[in-house]
Structures are given as structure tokens and as C-alpha cells.
A = this chain, B = another copy of it.
Amino acid sequence: MQELRPRLTRDERKAQTRERLVKTAHAMFLQRGYHATSLEEIAAELDLTKGSVYANFASKTDLFLAVFDRRTAARRRGYGQAGSLPLGLEDWARGLARVMAGDDPDGRWAGLLGEVWAVTAGDAAFRAALLDRVGPLHAQIADALEQAALRAGVVFPYPAAEMAPIGGAVLRGLLLQRLLDPQRMPADVVEAAFAGFIRGMACPRPPHSPEREDR
């Protein structure tokens, strides 16, 4: 029985601890909620003490932001792929919804976001930090939506940059419903509803209008 772990520098070890804390926190927040999961339980899961959390994060909200970042980084690839496929509007919308529904199979992430948002109301710095992180996601969806609209020859009543948060809100609502009533909101219903929303918002591009409005 020798050392099982490879020799790591102190920095590498710290980074590894941080990464494991974020991963564990992600899983436990999803399972039990933000408030119901204590830092001590997260650390104990890794045979650490909660003090180690404070060697890596400034606070519990800071840890959550790291969880959000980790998740966002993983999702962005999927959204990028699903969003940029050269599909018709209907298939594009269904594909995006399928990816998002697959990433939140029981609505726990949507619920967690809602809880964190409610629990940290009044923490202006946190709100700002969260909005900063949501922005790029929306921008990516807006891009993909714009391309899909061009391909399909339709326009939307709002610019893509405004449609993205609206569509995100629709999807989030659908996913949140899974938390309440998992059986009645399977992935294909989420897809159908989101595709319906996109379909309903799309109008045929008027023949006289250019592909892009000159500003």
C-alpha cells in the first residue's frame, strides 16, 4: 500500500479540493435545496471540515456562484450545438428544449434557481453577479434564435436579444412545473410547449423587409 494519489503541488491540490467542493455542492443543492444543505454537510461528504470551504470560497453564496459557473460552462457547449444546428424553426426549438429539459430532468435546477433568488433577495451584489452570468447565456440563445429565424424566413415581434430572456422564462416555467408534478411534464411536453411558443411568436417575414433592419 503506497500513496494512491499522484503527487500534486499544493496549488493543484487546492484546485482539486475546490473542484470537488463545487461538484459536491452542486449535487447536494440539487437534491436538497440551497438552504437545506449546510456547508458542513457538503464538506463532510468529502471528509473535510466546513473550514475548508472558507479556504476556497468567501461565503455560501460565493460557493453557489461557482456551482452556477460550473454548470453554465457545461451547458453552454450543449446549447451552442443545439442552437446552431441548421434546422427549421420547429426542429430548432424542439432541439433546444430537449437539451434544456434533459439537463434538468426533474426541474430541480429551476427550483434551485428560484429558491436562491428568493433567499438572497436584498443581496444586491449577488443579484448583480447572477445577472452578469445570465447575460452571456441569453446572448448565445439570441444568436441562435436569430439564425434560425433567418433560415425559416420569419421575424419575431421583439428583437432577438429580448426574445432570448422571454424564451428562457417560458422554458424555466415549464421545467419548474416538473418539480411540482413530474409525471405530467415529461420532456416531450416541454418540447411541444416551447416549440408552440416559438411557432406562435413567429410571423412570416414581410416581403418588403430586408433580412436585417438597417439601424
A16 to nearest B CB, angstroms?
Answer: 30
| A181 touching B131 in the complex, CB below 8 Å, given contacts A170-B173, A174-B166, A174-B169 | yes
Q: A193 touches which one: B118, B185, B192, B197 (CB < 8 A)?
A: B197
Assembled-state Cα–Cα distance A33/B192 (Å)? 33
Which residues from chain A sit less than 8 Å from chain B, CB to CB? 32-36, 111-112, 114-115, 117-119, 121-122, 130-131, 134, 157-158, 162, 165-166, 168-174, 176-177, 179-181, 184-185, 189, 192-193, 195-201
Q: Can you name 23 A-B residue pairings with CB atoms under 8 Å?
A: A33-B118, A33-B119, A34-B118, A35-B35, A36-B122, A112-B118, A114-B115, A114-B118, A118-B179, A162-B184, A162-B189, A165-B185, A166-B174, A166-B177, A166-B185, A170-B170, A170-B173, A170-B197, A173-B176, A193-B201, A196-B197, A199-B199, A199-B200
